[in-house]
Amino acid sequence: MIIGLTGSIASGKSTVAKMMTALGLPIVDADKVARDVVEPGTATLALIAESFGQAILQEDGTLNRTKLGDIIFHEPAQRKVLNDIMHPAIRKEMLRQRDAYLEAGSKHVVMDIPLLFESQLQHFVDRIIVVSVSEEVQLQRLMERNQLSQEDALARMHAQLPMSVKEKGAHAVIYNNDSIEHTEGQLKKILTHWDVI
């Protein structure tokens, strides 16, 4: 079974991913893949440099994320150019990793995709777990974790699909407002019900 794991910013999805790793489940991490596909020497980084100029590279050949961010942040057309390069590369590598785990004999693979619904990648997975949290808890965690003002934290939260929409698209929801033990108990119950553990 391919399990999609998603949530919203500061919902605790990474904590749940760690629990799944501890249970022996292989994980394809979309955020890690997004970093890997732009390592020096990759075709993706070469395409980005070709499209945005050599100035977006550091002296050591790595991507200057700040410089690239400055370009795409204010220019929707440039952001689209970048997404058109990045998204296919990320998806291809995620599927390669998923298939490698399956070929190596894994019965179940977790695909940790923060923007699963936003990117419409539901077809990549068989079942979806959404890690959910109340807006109050989410706001508090995000402000503390990222040292943000309430205004900045709310802006980041509202840039994503509402939790209620994600919950509707899920096969199972983990409510992460309480203790770690409570969250882990919910995860184990879901995975037991699905015959994963």
pLDDT at 159: 84
Q: How far apart are the first and last CA of the chain?
A: 12
Measured from the Cβ of residue 58, the count of other Cβ atoms closer than 10 Å reads: 12
pTM above 0.85, yes or no: yes
> What was the pLDDT predicted at 174?
98
Count of alpha carbons within 13 angstroms of residue 21, beta-carbon side: 11
Residue 11 assigned as binding residue: yes
How many CA atoms, within 13 angstroms, populate the side-chain half-sphere of residue 131?
32
Per CATH, 1-26+108-197 and 31-105 having the same topology is answered yes
Architecture of domain 1-26+108-197: 3-Layer(aba) Sandwich (3.40)
Q: Is 179 annotated as a binding residue?
A: no
Predicted pLDDT at 158: 87
Residue 13 in marked binding region:
yes
Q: Is 8 annotated as a binding residue?
A: no
- Residue 50 pLDDT: 96
Q: What does the pLDDT read at residue 74?
A: 82
Asked whether residue 22 is marked as a ligand-binding residue, the answer is no
User: pLDDT tens digits, the chain, 197 residues: what are they?
Assistant: 999 999 999 999 999 999 999 999 999 999 999 999 999 999 999 999 999 999 999 999 999 999 998 888 888 899 999 999 999 999 999 999 999 999 999 999 999 999 999 999 999 999 999 999 999 999 999 999 999 999 999 988 988 899 999 999 999 999 999 999 999 999 999 999 999 99
3-state secondary structure of 28: strand
- Please state the domain extents for the chain: 1-26+108-197, 31-105
Q: How would CATH label the architecture of 31-105? A: 3-Layer(aba) Sandwich (3.40)
Is residue 2 within 8 Å of residue 98, measured between CB atoms?
yes
Q: Which amino acid is at 89?
A: A
Tokens for 141, please give them.
């965690």
Q: Is 189 annotated as a binding residue?
A: no
